[in-house]
Amino acid sequence: MKKRSTNLRIKLPVFLFVTQVIFVALYFAFVTYDEHADARFQTNQTNPMHNAIYKDYPIFTDIQVMIFLGFGCLLAFFRFYGYGGMVFNFLTATFAIQWAILVQGYFQFYHNGKIHLGVINLINAEFACAVVLISFGAVLGKTSPLQLLVMALLEVPVFAVTEWMVLKYLRINDAGGSILIHLFACYFGLGVTFVLYRSGLKEGHIKENTSYHSDILSVMGTLFLWVFWPSFNSALTLKGDDQHRAILHTFIGLSASTLTAFALSAMLNKNGKLTMADIQNVTLAGGVTVGASVDMMISPAVAYVLGMLGCTACMLGYKYLSPFLARRCRIQDQCGIHNLHGLTGLISCVAGICAILMADEEVYGPSLYEIFSHRAPVEGDPKLLELKMLVPGLQLGLGRTAQEQALFQVAAVFSTIGLSALGGILTGYVLKLPYLASPPDDLCFDDVLFFEVPADYNAPLKHGNNMTSEDSPALQHQRVFIQLMDNNEESKWA
Give CA torsion, residues 300, 305, 310, 315, to 10 deg.
Answer: 130
**What pLDDT does 43 receive?**
75
Enter the pTM of the model: 0.92
CA distance 139 to 41: 46
Identity (one letter) of the amino acid at 199? S
Dist CA 218 CA 488 (whole Å)? 36
Q: Could you give the 3-state DSSP secondary structure of residue 302?
A: helix
Q: What is the pLDDT of residues 386-416, one digit of tens each?
A: 888 888 888 888 999 999 999 999 999 999 9
- Euclidean distance between the first and the last CA atom of the chain, given in angstroms as a whole number: 24
pLDDT at 491: 53
363's CB contacts (< 8 A; 6+ apart) are 297
pLDDT, tens only, 33-46: 999 999 888 876 77
Confidence band (pLDDT; 50, 70, 90) for 458?
Answer: confident
Residues 422, 158: Cα–Cα separation, whole Å: 10
pLDDT of 464 above 50: no
Per-residue pLDDT at 4 exceeds 90 = no
Q: How confident is the model at residue 460 (pLDDT cuts 50, 70, 90)?
A: low
Tell me the average pLDDT across 418-426: 98
Fold of 11-442: Ammonium transporter fold (1.10.3430)
Q: How far apart are CA 379 and CA 396, in angstroms?
A: 6
Residue type at 393?
A: G
CA atoms within 13 A of residue 302's CA, in its CB half-sphere: 19
C-alpha torsion 115→121→127→132, nearest 10: 40
Gap between the Cα atoms of 70 and 226, Å rounded: 9
β-strand partners of 116 = 32
* pLDDT interval class at 152 (50, 70, 90): very high
The domain segmentation of the chain, as residue ranges, is 11-442, 459-494
The DSSP letter of residue 181 is I
Residue 258: pLDDT band with limits 50, 70, 90: very high
- Among residues 433, 436, 428, 429, which one has the least CA distance to residue 8? 436
The residue-averaged pLDDT of 235-254 equals 96
Q: How confident is the model at residue 482 (pLDDT cuts 50, 70, 90)?
A: low
The region of weakest confidence among 86-100, 246-260, 427-441 is 427-441
pLDDT at 203: 85
Mean pLDDT for the chain overall: 91
